[in-house]
Chains A and B, each alone.
Chain A
Amino acid sequence: MNNSLLQVKNLVVEFPGRHGTLRALDGISFDIAPGEILGVVGESGAGKSLTGAAIIGLLEPPGRIASGEILLEGQRIDNLSSDQMRPIRGRKIGAIFQDPLTSLNPLYSVGRQLTETILAHLPMSAAQARRRAIDLLQDTGIPAAEERIDHFPHQFSGGMRQRVVIALALAAEPRLIVADEPTTALDVSIQAQIISLLKKLCRERGAAVMLITHDMGVIAETCDRVAVMYAGRVAEIGKVHDVINHSAHPYTAGLMAAIPDITQDRENLFQIDGTMPRLNAIPAGCAFNPRCKRSIEKCRQQRPELMDAGASRAACWLHEGQA
């Protein structure tokens, strides 16, 4: 456990408001080993992007970390001031966001944005930084990088822009990359290109990735381990193969069955009735119990913590007493 790159311990994120405080993340714990790709999957509002934002230190006020710890290479980063956080963000943690158009500055050429990032974090001359920027663009598969470096974001297509964003995230050789829905805005054929690029570059450089997405297919082909989130908590965490093929938590199992499968025909899709609870109305006990077909009395009263459940770990009372 101690050699993990990132450790998140019992993270609680709250949003104070006029009608009381909303608990958006409620005791999240996981860790990422160096060079590992961890997928974080869940439906809208499950708290996956918020987890990413908390790690990068970009929680939107009034959101705040109420308790818990985030440790990067053994050092706490959740209580740093924004000035102390700035050299870590970019140097040690890179970020890739969903929409490549809004994460680039439209008024600067991509070369300027890249060299700015490189110069901010690495001791280099301007000429060296430009050379490095061109190399980065080449590595991300942008043709004619020497020419393209002086172009502006609007002159790139969506897929090419996302390559620039990846180059930007990798610019200072971070140890961890937080990628929040990096391919959601892209078409499937481009999605495949970007995912394999991200995977290849991170493997080559030994960077760990936290890949946040709602697309189980992307998780399946990319990640080593996956955390399934539901209503601000981790419902299940384990090796991708185990979680997909032998889901321990009824929510994970339902989620898997609800995804239309390209390889087989089914008359009706399995459906999980109801919707995810709103933050101000999270049921007592297990948050999933009103929608769960296998819920027992204990589910309605006591909240389950992550426990060993076969090959993975799940927050579900059905696995109590299993070793």
Chain B
Amino acid sequence: MTATPPLIQVSNIAKSFDVSAPWLNRVIERKPRLLLHAVDGVSFEIEKGKTLALVGESGCGKSTVARLLVGLYSPSRGDVKFDGQDVHKVLETPPGRALRRRIQMIFQDPYASLNPRWTVESIVGEPLYEHGLITERVALRSRVDELLESVGLSALDRLKYPHQFSGGQRQRISIARALASKPEFLVCDEPTSALDVSVQAQVLNIMKDLQRQRGLTYLFISHNLAVVRHVSDHVGVMYLGRLVELADKQTLFAQPRHPYTQMLLDAIPKMHETGRARTPVQGEVPNPLNPPSGCTFHPRCPHANERCRAERPALQWLGGVRIACHAVEEGRL
């Protein structure tokens, strides 16, 4: 597409978790080994300075993708390339520390992700100290002040403890901590879903401003499509561990192609059309331990046919977007 290679390249990444019964039960009760395929062959790339959003319902594997990208999980197959280097290989070697500095993460729950016994100064200063970026106390303090001010907090807040802040302020501390080591890539796992709307707006605005100022690249995980529309450049829709549609934001919202994407968009209540009932979709997300055959969406899909029940569609370029759907491929939709 462009001459410069994308900053993040994820190819066919997968992660399975072993959820088998204990060994003894397997032997005595002849229970089989059980693998949960949380992420099953996902590929995408993110260009520098852009935001890719992953959306989907609970259990679709979006948080697992986030954790794979920062190296909190190692993939069962596939690889993640950051700036041309294989993240999971490099992280095992000494130069991995330098790579960790460049990739940071913001977590969902600002109440659980900050150490309650540390002052804000220790929390925000830790990455600086740990990566040996700043060793001098005075310099560390002034850098922490600077970081706190960049996320709209006061420099005096560095003496306080997390419990003295509200949810939105805590999430700003998390952002300040993530920014401390001057990363190029931020993985944000539902950064605003624990916050109220007015506070969510404050945090989203800060994240956008920081992206503009510092040329940050984001992977933004969310289940809220309205938030996704606001922050992203590209959107990937996940269902049961796989990408079903990947398109740029304008195209996806103007013209959703995959039946699941259409369903998700229809399911959102429209604010200014009061009293308009949504057309509720039938069915629920199937058990990921025992996913349906063929296209995993077929039991809920109004356009499913024999082929959908038998053959799993691959993600392919169709009319400018990447989509995994037989109906779209055959022109039935």
- Chain A residues with CB under 8 Å of chain B are 43-44, 157, 159-160, 187-193, 195-196, 199, 214-218, 220-221, 240-241, 244-245, 254-256, 258-263, 265-273, 275
Stretch of B21-29, B219-227, B312-320 that contacts chain A: B219-227
Q: How far, in whole Å, are A195 and B168 apart by their CA atoms in the complex?
A: 29
Interface pair B277/A221, CB less than 8 Å apart: yes
Interface pair B166/A275, CB less than 8 Å apart: yes
Interface pair B284/A190, CB less than 8 Å apart: yes
Stretch of B80-88, B119-127, B132-140, B263-271 that contacts chain A: B263-271
Q: How far, in whole Å, are A265 and B208 apart by their CA atoms in the complex?
A: 14
B153 CB within 8 Å of chain A:
no
Interface pair A187/B223, CB less than 8 Å apart: yes
Interface pair B196/A44, CB less than 8 Å apart: yes
Interface pair A217/B269, CB less than 8 Å apart: yes
Q: Please pick, from B196, B273, B276, B282, the residue contacting A214 in the complex, using a CB distance under 8 A.
A: B196
Query: How far in angstroms is the closest Cβ of chain A from B239?
Result: 11
Complex contacts, B279 vs chain A, CB 8 Å: 192
Interface pair A258/B268, CB less than 8 Å apart: no
Query: How far in angstroms is the closest Cβ of chain B from A5?
Result: 21
Complex contacts, A196 vs chain B, CB 8 Å: 277-278, 280
Known: A43-B196, A245-B272, A270-B201. A188 touches B264 (CB 8 A): yes
Interface pair B58/A192, CB less than 8 Å apart: no
Interface pair B200/A262, CB less than 8 Å apart: no
Complex contacts, B276 vs chain A, CB 8 Å: 221
Complex contacts, A189 vs chain B, CB 8 Å: 57, 263-264, 267, 280-281, 284
Q: Which of B180-197 contact A (CB under 8 A)?
A: 196-197
Q: Please pick, from A160, A188, A199, the residue contacting B268 in the complex, using a CB distance under 8 A.
A: A188
Query: How far in angstroms is the closest Cβ of chain A from B271?
Result: 5
Interface pair B198/A187, CB less than 8 Å apart: no
Q: Which of chain A's residues has its CB closest to B192's CB?
A: A260
Q: Which 5 A-B pairs have the closest CB atoms?
A: A217-B269, A258-B201, A43-B196, A269-B201, A187-B57
Complex contacts, B168 vs chain A, CB 8 Å: 275
Q: Which of B78-137 contact A (CB under 8 A)?
A: none
Q: Which of chain B's residues has its CB closest to A270's CB?
A: B201
Query: How far in angstroms is the closest Cβ of chain B from A72?
Result: 27
Binary flags per residue of B266-305, CB closer than 8 Å to A gives 1, else 0:
0111111111111111101100000000000000000000
B328 CB within 8 Å of chain A:
no
Interface pair A259/B204, CB less than 8 Å apart: no
Interface pair B268/A217, CB less than 8 Å apart: yes
Complex contacts, A244 vs chain B, CB 8 Å: 271-272, 274
Interface pair A188/B57, CB less than 8 Å apart: yes
Interface pair A259/B223, CB less than 8 Å apart: no
Q: How far, in whole Å, are A259 and B196 apart by their CA atoms in the complex?
A: 10
Known: A190-B284, A196-B277. A216 touches B197 (CB 8 A): yes
Interface pair B198/A255, CB less than 8 Å apart: yes
Interface pair B275/A221, CB less than 8 Å apart: yes
B48 CB within 8 Å of chain A:
no
Q: Please pick, from A220, A241, A260, the residue contacting B204 in the complex, using a CB distance under 8 A.
A: A260
Q: Please pick, from B57, B205, B272, the residue contacting A271 in the complex, using a CB distance under 8 A.
A: B205
List 17 additional A-B contacts (Cβ < 8 Å) besides A220-B269, A258-B200, A268-B208: A159-B284, A187-B58, A188-B57, A189-B280, A190-B284, A192-B281, A220-B270, A220-B275, A221-B277, A240-B275, A255-B197, A256-B271, A258-B198, A259-B226, A260-B204, A271-B198, A275-B199
B230 CB within 8 Å of chain A:
yes
Interface pair B201/A221, CB less than 8 Å apart: no
Q: Most A CB atoms within 10 A — which of B168, B205, B279?
A: B205
Binary flags per residue of B30-49, CB closer than 8 Å to A gives 1, else 0:
00000000000000000000
**What are 18 A-B contacts defined by CB distance under 8 Å?**
A43-B196, A43-B199, A44-B196, A187-B58, A188-B57, A189-B57, A189-B280, A196-B277, A199-B277, A217-B269, A221-B273, A244-B271, A255-B198, A260-B226, A269-B201, A269-B205, A271-B202, A272-B201
Known: A221-B277, A260-B229. A191 touches B267 (CB 8 A): yes
Complex contacts, A191 vs chain B, CB 8 Å: 267
Q: Which of chain A's residues has its CB closest to B278's CB?
A: A192
Complex contacts, B199 vs chain A, CB 8 Å: 43, 275
Complex contacts, A215 vs chain B, CB 8 Å: 269
Q: Most A CB atoms within 10 A — which of B199, B223, B274?
A: B274
Q: Please pick, from A216, A266, A275, the residue contacting B230 in the complex, using a CB distance under 8 A.
A: A266
Interface pair B275/A263, CB less than 8 Å apart: no
Q: Which of chain B's residues has its CB closest to A269's CB?
A: B201
Q: Which of B212-238 contact A (CB under 8 A)?
A: 223-227, 229-230
Complex contacts, A260 vs chain B, CB 8 Å: 201, 204, 224, 226-227, 229-230
Complex contacts, A220 vs chain B, CB 8 Å: 269-275
Interface pair B269/A218, CB less than 8 Å apart: yes
Q: How far, in whole Å, are A256 and B198 apart by their CA atoms in the complex?
A: 9
Q: Which of chain B's residues has its CB closest to A194's CB?
A: B280
Complex contacts, A195 vs chain B, CB 8 Å: 269, 278, 280
B253 CB within 8 Å of chain A:
yes
Q: How far, in whole Å, are A147 and B182 apart by their CA atoms in the complex?
A: 58
Interface pair B166/A188, CB less than 8 Å apart: no
Query: How far in angstroms is the closest Cβ of chain B from A154?
Result: 14
Q: Which of chain B's residues has its CB closest to A218's CB?
A: B269
Query: How far in angstroms is the closest Cβ of chain A from B300?
Result: 8
Interface pair B223/A188, CB less than 8 Å apart: yes
Complex contacts, A259 vs chain B, CB 8 Å: 197, 201, 226, 271
Q: How far, in whole Å, are A273 and B275 apart by their CA atoms in the complex?
A: 31
Q: How far, in whole Å, are A254 and B199 apart by their CA atoms in the complex?
A: 11
Complex contacts, B58 vs chain A, CB 8 Å: 187
Complex contacts, A256 vs chain B, CB 8 Å: 271
Interface pair B280/A193, CB less than 8 Å apart: yes
Q: Which of chain B's residues has its CB closest to A240's CB?
A: B274
Known: A192-B280, A214-B196, A245-B272. A269 touches B267 (CB 8 A): no
Query: How far in angstroms is the closest Cβ of chain B from A128?
Result: 32
Q: Please pick, from A43, A221, A262, the residue contacting B197 in the complex, using a CB distance under 8 A.
A: A43
